[in-house]
Amino acid sequence: MISIRRQMATGAAWMVLFKLLDKGVGLISTLLLARLLVPSDFGLVAMAMSVIALLEAFGAFGFDLALIQRQSAAREHYDTAWTFNIITSLTIAAGLLALAVPVAHFYRQPHLAPVVCVLALACAIQGFENIGVVAFRKEMHFHKEFRYLLLRRLVSFAVTISLAVWLRSYWALIAGTVTGRVAGVALSYWLHPYRPRLSLAARRDLFHFSRWVLVGNILAFLKERSSDFVIGRIAGPSALGIFSVSAEIANMPGTELVAPINRAVFPAYARLAHDRSALRAEYLSVMSVVALLAIPAIAGIAATAQLIVAVLLGPKWVEAQQILPVLAFFGITQVMQSNAYAAYLALGRPDLSARITTIHVCILLVALVVLTWWKGLFGAAIAYLVTATIVLPITFAFVFRLISLSTREFGRAVWRPLVAAVVMYLVVTLFVEAVTRPGSSTAIDALHLLTAVAVGVASYVSGVFVLWALSGRPEGAERLAMRQLRAWLARMPFFSGAGRDAGPSDPK
């Protein structure tokens, strides 16, 4: 179990590192492309990608998750998954070709039809990706998956930027997308020796698990994209833009920290599925780390929302100041329950996630329509928070029962980061209110934002470790953080003492 925990921690570190690098490359790419292209280029591609996302949601069977969850998966399972991936991708490509002209008419953009047709080719190509790369995650060789994902991203980045400089057209974005898919397929065969064959021998085994993953992915699409339809229809495109950007900022700790952690721990959970006590211990360990890292980051966004909007977005986005804190609190509920999905999958119960998401979508759609019509953008944000608050205890009830976990055990694992985050939120909120003045310059606001971050970090770190010391320094995320800190300091010459005896060696 210690070996699995070590592999899980290493895998989480690799996935977080990839996510940070991927986000960094994406940010640089966006900034460069914004200088080279015009907004309509991005809009045209976004229209096409929304249609692709819709069709892909209906073909997202999650065969890779089924292979990871099934520890006894044999060649026929891998070959069947690869064959179904090809069939699904070709079907999606055919659907895109059939919808190209209707979609262009719907958006009143005649240039959209050839864009959709070319992107259909990219979808068809992706289905041929070597299914063997799933073994990187299943066998917990995350450094190999890191290399595979990063190389694919860099190839797409290089092609997109180069063509944007040359063409100054949305076709650079299209070519970059197609190249990324082609590179992914080529790299998958280069980096992994497995050579799949066409087969449907294990279709029953895979579909028994993957049918619920498909349902869950469709429901997740509705859960995540409901705002596009409701807010766009009721409040208009400008309001939808403000809401989308605010939600992206509020969810950054979840996407940059928690999502890669969950990606890494799922294979470990699958290995421990036969031992509920070991799985329960690992679930608590992961949740304590998630609470320690993600909750203060999200609470910090809520506390500094006014300065974040002023410094990063500007005066045109002032309406985001009201909804960003609400969406940040919604983000806390999401990171607290995100790890439950990995546990459901590891135990072969993806149906539980689908059922919970169904409840979430039903409540959210009603709340969104009513509250957006009544209170506009702020009402939409409240709808997300209210829905998540209702669904969170339902999620915990399912996962606690599944792994025989008591509420008291869970509370002992996460209460210290939660209390310290609340204290930090109050301290930073008071600081922001004290220093913020109407009409202040962006430079002054940026200085206040950096100071607020420093105040938040200091108050949270001191608070959480004081609570940990008062609790008798139990095992948990704090002790893990202390061990990691000592390991880092030991590698530094100043702390380790390396280099202090630089004179002649002692005589023998």
Q: What is residue 498's predicted lDDT score, i.e. its pLDDT?
A: 44
In a domain, 128, yes or no: yes
* Same domain membership, residue 449 and residue 305: yes
Q: What is residue 238's predicted lDDT score, i.e. its pLDDT?
A: 64
Spell out, as residue ranges, where the chain has pLDDT lower than 70. 1-44, 46-47, 57-73, 107, 135-143, 146, 205-214, 216, 228-229, 232-233, 235-241, 254-257, 259-260, 262-264, 484-485, 487-508
Total Cβ atoms within 10 A of residue 316: 11
* Same domain membership, residue 382 and residue 276: yes
In a domain, 79, yes or no: yes
| Chain centroid offset of residue 211 CA | 23
In a domain, 130, yes or no: yes
**Tokens for 508?**
């023998």
Domain count, the chain: 2
* φ, ψ of residue 304 in degrees (nearest 5): -105, 20
* Same domain membership, residue 196 and residue 135: yes
pLDDT tens-digit series, residues 153-166: 777 778 877 877 78
Question: Nearest to residue 126, comparing CAs of 52, 199, 73?
Answer: 52
* Same domain membership, residue 242 and residue 277: yes
Positive or negative, the Cα torsion across 340, 341, 347, 349?
positive
* Same domain membership, residue 437 and residue 480: yes
* Same domain membership, residue 257 and residue 144: no
**Number of residues that this document lists for the chain:** 508
Confirm if 204 and 81 have CB atoms less than 8 A apart: no
Q: What is residue 71's predicted lDDT score, i.e. its pLDDT?
A: 62
Say whether 37 sits in a helix, a strand or coil: coil
In a domain, 159, yes or no: yes
* Same domain membership, residue 245 and residue 192: no
In a domain, 40, yes or no: yes
Range of the domain at 196: 1-201
DSSP H or E stretch at residue 208: helix 203-234
CATH of the domain at 120: 1.10.357
In a domain, 499, yes or no: no
* Same domain membership, residue 159 and residue 22: yes
* Same domain membership, residue 255 and residue 333: yes
Longest pairwise C-alpha distance within the chain? 88
Give me the DSSP letters along 451-475: HHHHHHHHHHHHHHHHHHHHTT--S
Confirm if 339 and 262 have CB atoms less than 8 A apart: yes
In a domain, 322, yes or no: yes
* Same domain membership, residue 192 and residue 255: no
* Same domain membership, residue 177 and residue 231: no
* Same domain membership, residue 251 and residue 168: no
Q: What is residue 488's predicted lDDT score, i.e. its pLDDT?
A: 64
Please count the CA atoms within 13 angstroms of the CA of 458 that sit on its side-chain side. Answer: 8
Question: Nearest to residue 468, comparing CAs of 450, 481, 485?
Answer: 481
In a domain, 505, yes or no: no
